[in-house]
Structure 1
Amino acid sequence: MKPAEFQEAADGYRAASDMASAAKDTVENQISAGIRNQLKGEAAGAALRELKELGKDFHYAQTECALAGTALNGFAYDMAAAKRKLEAALEDARVAGCTVGADGSVTFPAGGEEVDGKVPEGGTVSASASSTDATANAIEQQAIHQHPNPNFGKAIGFANRIGDALKEAADADAKWAPKLRALKADDDLVVSGRDWTDVKSDTDGVVKGADAYARSLPKPPKDGDPELVAHWWADLTDEQKAAYVSLHPDSIGAMDGLPATVRDEANRVVLAESRAGYQDKLDAWTGKEPDRYAPYISPVTGREVKGARIETEEWKEWNRKKEALEGRIRGMDAIQSRFDRTGTDGLPEAYLLGFDPEGKGHDGKVVIANGNPDTADHTGIYVPGTGTLLPDIQKDMGRGEILWHETNRYAQGQKVSTITWFDYDAPLQAKPFEKGGGLFPEAMSDEWAAKGGPGLSHFLDGNLEAHRMASGNTHLGHTTLMGHSYGTTLIGDAAKSRVWPEGALPVDDVIAVGSPGMQAKRAADLGIPQGHMWAEQGGGNDAAVRIGGKYLAGLGDDWTIPTDPEFGANIMESDAGDHGAFWDEGSTSLRNQALVMAGQYDKVTLE
């Protein structure tokens, strides 16, 4: 019944978690990054492999120690509630003139009206929890009414309250003891997928047990308003912040307005747990492979054709699910690969600002930054277009890295962050009958952009608030929002989704690359200031995308797209040979994008 001791232990585990976090960051973002940036060869490669495993150890220790601290705080909270009840019962018994023994028994004094010339004697009752049995309670009440000493009834009440408090404490002990024992790690230095599966199980157990403790924490704003979220987080204590991250990493990682460091910490846990979980699913599914081939039955004769075999429908369905699982794992490994490239050619640390293996429409969700956007002087946010999926996210993350390198070249020593934002259900097909589609591909409809636009708008508000909190509202930096192909349509819908008093999108510049239309006739209709709307066009199939969006899909308003003079954009020079070549290294198109992101407007070359 000493909750303070467990709170002190929780503080110790939280401190250990913080130390492991700092060690992980040092290993991954300083030591390993330094080796990648300066050293080559077998020795460097071997060192990096060992350091990667060490970083995994620290990450696992960070997560489990934080969870242990939260579990101990949950236990202490339950024990504190029981202790308060016990202390209240003891104090009330003392005031009533009763004495409580070490075993919880209550001795009451003589009292009441004289019987046969004597005041009814005092006595002692044993501590026992209140009964839930109606008959037993009735018998107890009858005994109290029949007893000549009124202090007897009081003592019974005190004894029951003491018994209830002790039972509550015993129940808390019984509930938390196995959960705390479950946090014991394997006795090795290899962090495997099984370990992260165990972390997920541990977390679920602690969440269930810490229900009362969690309810005591200050609640986040119900509507998720980024400004309110930012201030809510700033007002939490270190213990409360640690509790939220350890209990609900998925929710915290997805919360716009929180610091990039916090979202990254939470989402890396979600990534590790998801990677382990999907590997378990794949292993289990692989073991269920049905026969791939069956004899071919002629539709003419109805007889088996000797030597001819065909793939079974059962196997095809099994293989489709297997490939889907493999694809999601491939996407998750691509994210980890980005973490592992920190330091290569000066590439800064990565921040995973959003992750969900399923996401909206089962496409997945990846929001990843190169460099910390909260402290950057220049932030570029790239929105990909049609066909974007978690399994193939490497391409779009790669474009974010290319943009960082190029923008950093022109930033004159200022800090740069580039973000790949993929948090919408992107259309799957851009051509008729492509990828299982019909005559009218999904990219011809604004439906996907209309649904995804508000999410992008919300993220941008969160990006602004996180930067505002980090800078003390003294330097909000320069932000550029860039979309490619259908991503530009989504940007248009994001701008149109804003209502009073939100105002325009909280960005300084907008770049539309290979745009089929932004659901507006003029940049001004989207709240984009004159001179701060930019556009690029390419050759080859890029013309088909722009013309198709303009005349067939109607993604521009009144058949107007950003590269039309009447839209009001600065049309930048571009040497992109096709729809996907805007980020070719050394290209004019890439250079102009970077100059806008670095705020070097006077150096941008226009058509």
Structure 2
Amino acid sequence: MVTWGEVRRWQPGPLQNAVGPMNDAYNKIIACGDDLRAAGTPYGWSGQAASAAAGKINAIIDGLEEHAADVAAARRSFGDTGDAITGVVNGVREAEDLAKAHHFSIGDDGAVIDHGPPPDTPEDQKAAVAEERKAIAEEVRERVIQVLRSATDVDDDFCAVLDKILSEHTIDAAATSNDQTSLAAAGNAGHILGSLSVPAPPPDGATATQNAAWWASLSRNQRLQLVADRPDLVGNRDGLPATYRSQANLNAIPKERNRLRTELDNLKAQASGATPAEALMLNLQGQEIENKLASLDKIDEMMYVAPGQVNPDRQLLSLDMSGDSAMAAVANGNVDTARHVAVFTPGMNSAVNENMLGYVKEMESVQRHSEYMSERFGDEGSVATVTWLGYEPPRVPDLEANFLEVGKTGGDLIGGYEADKGAEKLASFNQGINASRSDDPHLTALGHSYGSLTTGIALQHNTGVDDAVFFGSPGISDAPDIPISPDGVNNEIKDLKIPQGHAYNLEADGDAVADIGKTGRFGSDPGTMSGMQQLSTEGAVTKDGKQVFGVTGHSDYLKSIGDGPDKMHSTSLHNMASIVAGLPTMAVRTP
């Protein structure tokens, strides 16, 4: 296995510069093919001399075929290895830069050396800084491990090709007929054998940091190859840049659609000869598939402005058909470059094929209002908002007793199972946003209803989230709070891994779901929790003199009226946009 000291010295230039001369040599060899085909024993010549001449020509042809294959393999492997080394060099640079920025260094043996926190760290921040430095040291270690893993993979592949070339076993030239000599065919065989594999990704369950480290060690060509040929390895992998994830997921949609249609046709065929009980089960499974197909159609509607024309302001950050219903994450703006990023998690009765498009449009309003505020009153940073429906929230009947996607259970509303399961995925997704970027974006978590519970549990992990806004929340903890008290027995806000004073709550009059917080089922009540910043949902005039309107009930927190420059926002949307833009002083507080 190669060492860190060795990969530090790797440079792609020598290999890449050798490709041109090799290509010239290869073309000269191929040009000999016509001459060889013209050569041969003259018509009518026979005897020992003729046989000896024919044998000599065949030997020359075999030698040139092997030589053509060797040069073609070398040309391909030198080019591929040089390209792969650019990825390794990039991985080394990112790891070294991360270490240096936080007062660490990396030894030649790959060990991460801690040079201590900044000497001017305030006494009351030393514990928090020490905890942060542990996480950074672990990230640097993961990056070193992955870079060395990729470098070893490249080294092994390159050596395997060189061994074949040096032993003159790139192809078996003697096994082919020379009657129709084709040096180009031999060269093509060598070209294929000279290719290098793309380093395999970390195994399932890898952290966002591990995924980011692997991606950093790949060249641009390797990344594009994976997006085109193996979108399943890219699209849902937390820690990878949003631009690549989005393209991979878009590439995966046609295959997913064809797979689901085939499954549906098979179920219909089975149902035609089934018993009534069997047919009922098959029809339920078919409804599940039809909902997933409808979800893909909705995703197309979200992602394309016209057939074949992707909306440049949207990104498809996840696409998962492995559950009972479709799961996805759609962004407004560019998550790779935005200074401010918000991740919104909807709650119960949310489904890709039913109401996700509406959420995405509401998040677009948050994005635009945040950018307006950032430009006028803040750091002028751009904003991206993500609607994350990467889990399957529970369903309950609406007022007309309609249900959404098949497979969701109303009992989970009380049990909280889907919130726990979704929180693990949401935490990884948020970690991935930070891990995929060289800078540190201002990251805000937005959670509504059951999505606020999922968000609260996710924030018990170190996710890199800077601010959290809960609205219409029944609670933010998976542990009941009994006996009930204004501050709660545990006061779960202390469990949130976000800066102190950066958790906010919005609760409208008449919100029955938020009133569940008073029961303590999901921890202490966010509406009365000590340390939770309470923001208004009532009509008001903002600090910049704009009128905002109040909302009531559970479902109108993100409401706006009108369009264009005359668009009027609810107080709750304005408040969320203020937090997303990093401008909490612009928010309207409760009286």
TM-score w.r.t. the length of structure 1 is 0.56
Equivalent residues in 2 for 1:69-148, closer than 5 Å:
84-85=163-164, 87-88=166-167, 104=174
Residue in 1 that maps onto 2:254: 272
Q: Retained in 2: the 8 A contact 1:263–1:353?
A: yes
Q: For residues 176-218 of structure 1, give each alpha carbon's deviation from its aligned partner in whole angstroms, at most 9, with x where no partner exists.
A: 8xxxxxxxxxxxxxxxxxxxxxxxxxxxxxxxx99x954x626
Q: Does 1:411 align with 2:381?
A: no
**Distance in 2 separating the partners of 1:313 and 1:601:** 58
* Aligned equivalent of 2:441, options 464, 472, 477: 477
Residues 103, 90 of structure 1: CA spacing in aligned structure 2 closer, same or farther, 3 A cutoff?
A: closer
**Distance in 1 separating the partners of 2:470 and 2:518:** 14
**Distance in 2 separating the partners of 1:464 and 1:523:** 22
**Distance in 1 separating the partners of 2:204 and 2:334:** 27
Equivalent residues in 2 for 1:346-365, closer than 5 Å:
349-358=313-322, 361-365=323-327
Residue in 1 that maps onto 2:73: 3
1:85 Cα offset (Å): 3.1
Equivalent residues in 2 for 1:323-402, closer than 5 Å:
323-341=287-305, 349-358=313-322, 361-392=323-354, 393-402=356-365
Residues 333, 408 of structure 1: CA spacing in aligned structure 2 closer, same or farther, 3 A cutoff?
A: farther
Higher relative helix content = 1
Query: Which region of structure 1 is more displaced relative to structure 2, 520-529 or 371-380?
Result: 520-529
1:428 Cα offset (Å): 2.9
Structure 1 residues not aligned, in runs of 5+: 12-76, 92-101, 105-126, 129-168, 177-208, 295-311
1:284 Cα offset (Å): 5.2
What is the identity percentage for the equivalent residue pairs of Structure 1 and Structure 2?
27
Q: Retained in 1: the 8 A contact 2:444–2:466?
A: yes
Structure 2 residues not aligned, in runs of 5+: 1-68, 82-155, 177-184, 478-489, 539-549, 561-568
Equivalent residues in 2 for 1:42-53, closer than 5 Å:
none
**Distance in 2 separating the partners of 1:78 and 1:597:** 47
Q: Retained in 2: the 8 A contact 1:537–1:576?
A: no
1:488 Cα offset (Å): 1.0
Q: For residues 349-373 of structure 1, give each alpha carbon's deviation from its aligned partner in whole angstroms, at most 9, with x where no partner exists.
A: 2111111123xx4232201111111
**Distance in 2 separating the partners of 1:567 and 1:271:** 44
**Distance in 1 separating the partners of 2:290 and 2:79:** 42
**Distance in 1 separating the partners of 2:408 and 2:209:** 43
1:269 Cα offset (Å): 1.3
**Distance in 2 separating the partners of 1:484 and 1:255:** 25
1:456 Cα offset (Å): 1.4
Q: Retained in 1: the 8 A contact 2:341–2:444?
A: yes
Q: For residues 306-336 of structure 1, give each alpha carbon's deviation from its aligned partner in whole angstroms, at most 9, with x where no partner exists.
A: xxxxxx6666545433432221112111111
* Aligned equivalent of 2:211, options 229, 252, 257: 229
Residue in 2 that maps onto 1:448: 418
Residue in 2 that maps onto 1:297: none
**Alignment root-mean-square deviation, CA:** 4.3
* Aligned equivalent of 1:464, options 434, 443, 459: 434
Q: Retained in 2: the 8 A contact 1:561–1:567?
A: no
Query: Which region of structure 1 is more displaced relative to structure 2, 437-446 or 362-371?
Result: 437-446
1:219 Cα offset (Å): 4.7
1:223 Cα offset (Å): 5.8
Q: Give 1:3's aligned amino acid.
A: A
Residue in 2 that maps onto 1:495: 459
TM-score w.r.t. the length of structure 2 is 0.58
Q: Give 2:383's aligned amino acid.
A: V
Q: Give 2:464's aligned amino acid.
A: P
1:348 Cα offset (Å): 5.5
Q: Retained in 1: the 8 A contact 2:339–2:383?
A: yes
Q: For residues 441-488 of structure 1, give each alpha carbon's deviation from its aligned partner in whole angstroms, at most 9, with x where no partner exists.
A: 311122222222222112111111223x2xxx3xx2322110010111
Residues 238, 486 of structure 1: CA spacing in aligned structure 2 closer, same or farther, 3 A cutoff?
A: same
**Distance in 2 separating the partners of 1:579 and 1:291:** 46
Q: Give 2:297's aligned amino acid.
A: D
1:571 Cα offset (Å): 2.8
* Aligned equivalent of 2:505, options 532, 535, 538: 535
Q: For residues 407-442 of structure 1, give each alpha carbon's deviation from its aligned partner in whole angstroms, at most 9, with x where no partner exists.
A: 233221531100011222322337999859999731
**Distance in 2 separating the partners of 1:439 and 1:490:** 16
Q: Give 1:401's aligned amino acid.
A: E
Residue in 1 that maps onto 2:221: 239
Q: Give 1:323's aligned amino acid.
A: Q
* Aligned equivalent of 1:582, options 548, 557, 560: 557
Q: For residues 353-397 of structure 1, give each alpha carbon's deviation from its aligned partner in whole angstroms, at most 9, with x where no partner exists.
A: 111123xx4232201111111210111110111233332232333
Of structures 1 and 2, the larger Rg is shown by 1
**Distance in 2 separating the partners of 1:421 and 1:251:** 20
Q: Retained in 1: the 8 A contact 2:443–2:466?
A: yes
Q: Give 1:550's aligned amino acid.
A: K
**Distance in 1 separating the partners of 2:347 and 2:304:** 26
Instruction: Provide the secondary structure at the position in 1 that maps to 2:328.
Output: strand
Residues 567, 489 of structure 1: CA spacing in aligned structure 2 closer, same or farther, 3 A cutoff?
A: farther
Residues 430, 524 of structure 1: CA spacing in aligned structure 2 closer, same or farther, 3 A cutoff?
A: farther
Q: For residues 272-307 of structure 1, give each alpha carbon's deviation from its aligned partner in whole angstroms, at most 9, with x where no partner exists.
A: 321232234445555677499x9xxxxxxxxxxxxx
**Distance in 1 separating the partners of 2:407 and 2:334:** 39
1:533 Cα offset (Å): 1.3
**Distance in 2 separating the partners of 1:9 and 1:241:** 16
1:9 Cα offset (Å): 11
Q: For residues 53-90 of structure 1, give each alpha carbon's deviation from its aligned partner in whole angstroms, at most 9, with x where no partner exists.
A: xxxxxxxxxxxxxxxxxxxxxxxx99995784364158
**Distance in 1 separating the partners of 2:318 and 2:533:** 31
Q: Give 2:326's aligned amino acid.
A: G
Q: Give 2:392's aligned amino acid.
A: D
* Aligned equivalent of 1:248, options 230, 253, 260: 230
**Distance in 2 separating the partners of 1:221 and 1:593:** 37
Instruction: Provide the secondary structure at the position in 1 that maps to 2:353.
Output: helix
Residues 371, 479 of structure 1: CA spacing in aligned structure 2 closer, same or farther, 3 A cutoff?
A: same
Residue in 2 that maps onto 1:420: 387
**Distance in 2 separating the partners of 1:529 and 1:287:** 57
Q: Give 2:294's aligned amino acid.
A: R
Q: Give 2:381's aligned amino acid.
A: Q
* Aligned equivalent of 1:555, options 508, 512, 522: 522
Aligned length: 396
**Distance in 2 separating the partners of 1:438 and 1:466:** 32
Q: For residues 552-584 of structure 1, give each alpha carbon's deviation from its aligned partner in whole angstroms, at most 9, with x where no partner exists.
A: x7012xxx2211253522233342232111111
Q: Retained in 1: the 8 A contact 2:236–2:319?
A: yes
**Distance in 2 separating the partners of 1:439 and 1:353:** 26
Q: Retained in 1: the 8 A contact 2:80–2:196?
A: no
**Distance in 2 separating the partners of 1:445 and 1:415:** 39
